[in-house]
Structure 1
Amino acid sequence: MITVNELQNFLENNERQILAMDNANLLKINAIDEETGVNIPGISYICYVALPVGVTPVSQYSSINGTDLLGIYDKENKKLYYKRISSLILNDKLKSVVDEIGSINFKNLYRLVVKEVDKILQKEYKSLRVQKQIENYNYKNSDFKKSFIEQRIEAFFEKGVTVYGKNKDYELKLTAYDYAKLISNKKYAKDLAMRYLFNKPEYRDVTNFEVNIEGYIYRQAKLNFNRNINLNDDDKKLMSLFKGISEANNARTIKIEYQKGNKSTEITVNIDEMRQQYDYSDGYCFSNYAITTLKAAKKFEKDFRDEEDNRFGDILLKGIKKVKYGRKVLFEEK
């Protein structure tokens, strides 16, 4: 196994291209500037070669022919930038040697580009154009209200849930060459940011710049909606119902006292099915599939189906009068 000094000498030696190890070799390849066709001064690709042949790395990802990019060495500043490699390829002993020479993870370079992307987008987010679009966002065709209620219902059942903001994920797809150029000149981060922003993703006809702007407008409009939402009586009853049910710890089923007109019944309902089967579009209801037995579900459908008010024989929210778990009352209509 190689030592720290052996690795350091290999990285510094201009004449040496291969460092032999027990079961593989390290291969040092000069980084070539694709624009000029000449070497990028002092920058080398360091590859881990499992087979006796090596290829120039074209991306940050592992190749299929036994050669993997271990990192990129900056001779002038004596720094090795490395990528995360599977432990099947980079064993613990070699990793400890790499760590000891003061290596820097590629993530630090990646963040430089993310920072440039953020800077450009943040400026546009504050523009009058974007602010006007947030202000005039059309809520009529959105599911903001449904999402608002579902998130809160989910929180009832997941005790202590903390909701964090979405992580930034720009899918920059940087290659080994991009990293080599970035190590040579940190200002290249802006060029990479612009390349990302004004390229079109495969699934869209607009650029990543517009995709991110659209996402920001949607998130801000949704946030404004949630801050100012007005819940009607059915919304409040639905959340009160689920809040009560969530307090029956580890319960799988509950009993519902149901009434319509002069008809009433008691049904046993599966809680998970009830959570998955409620619907806003048809008068706040739950599918009768939530009833625990097929026989009881068919009887309920037959007794309470109404072509005008309840075409499918669903469990209507307005028909639920009381919910019990054993003797404990979880919900009761006031």
Structure 2
Amino acid sequence: MQEITENTVRELTAKTAQLKQEIQKVIVGQENVIDEILVTLFAGGHCLLEGVPGLAKTLMVRTIAQALHLSFRRIQFTPDLMPTDILGTEILEEDHTTGKRFFKFNKGPLFANIVLADEINRTPPKTQSALLEAMQEFEITYGGQTYKLDKPFFILATQNPIEQAGTYPLPEAQLDRFLLYIKIGYPSAKEETDILSNTTGNRAASVQAVLSAEEIQQLQKLVRDVHISEDLVQYVATLIRATRPGDSTASYVKEWVRWGAGPRAGQALILTAKSRALLKGRYAVIMEDIQAMAAPVLRHRILMNFKAEAEQINSDNVTAVLLKEIARSKTALG
């Protein structure tokens, strides 16, 4: 990969704005969701999208893939999907010149730059867990052999709310592998009208590919060079520790939270804040970046207890209160 120069930085940041424009040719509204997906991509992680059926989750992922010069595969998760269906399997082949038989690994759909894991929570935990090594190590092991995955490697998983029939809750270990947990809501009245107008005719928007694999890897490297002050690092550490009942001084955390976020949550929050800053054209993290990314970072890393569930209090509620209280006590950070 070539060295990133000042001119390269300007070109790459300009292309991120162009990338959003291409995506918005097809996707009406959902600007925050698109931003959070791109933040995840540039931070080098994976994201989980949750929303009821019909909110264009799959269309959004397909459109993002079209706007990038990357290979794309879609996996429809079903109750009968096996781990080998996504990882690949060995097949017996014969060398016609020698007559000898040998096993050849036939790569599965995970061997792509962008993988859409559609309705991931409709498959049993055994197949869900088959994604773990790929998501964390960017490689898979089969038959004692390790196979590297192409970079960038980006998994966008979609799931329906777990209250719906035929869904399996994702294990905490798998949830933690997702950098962001993004919830997609219903469109506004105007957005819904625009969706109906744009999708019921013969005109189809043409999406042009903007960024290549090499440029995305350059952006991922550039994200880590974005500056964050020591005060903001300390703020993140304070926020993460405040989510843990054993460390927090907040009575509501002790009352509602079963398990708080671990150090990986702090790493994710700083990295996504850096990525958001770059996406906004800045080369330094500000408080707004951290506060904007806190909910999708902590949403799946704070485990609520039964009392909180009974009172319909979720991790987003806890995060929102903590952000206000800690920011109020550290107003000097700006």
Q: Which has the higher strand share?
A: 1
TM range (shorter): under 0.3
Report which structure shows greater RCO (CA 8 Å, sep ≥6).
2
Max radius of gyration: which structure?
A: 1
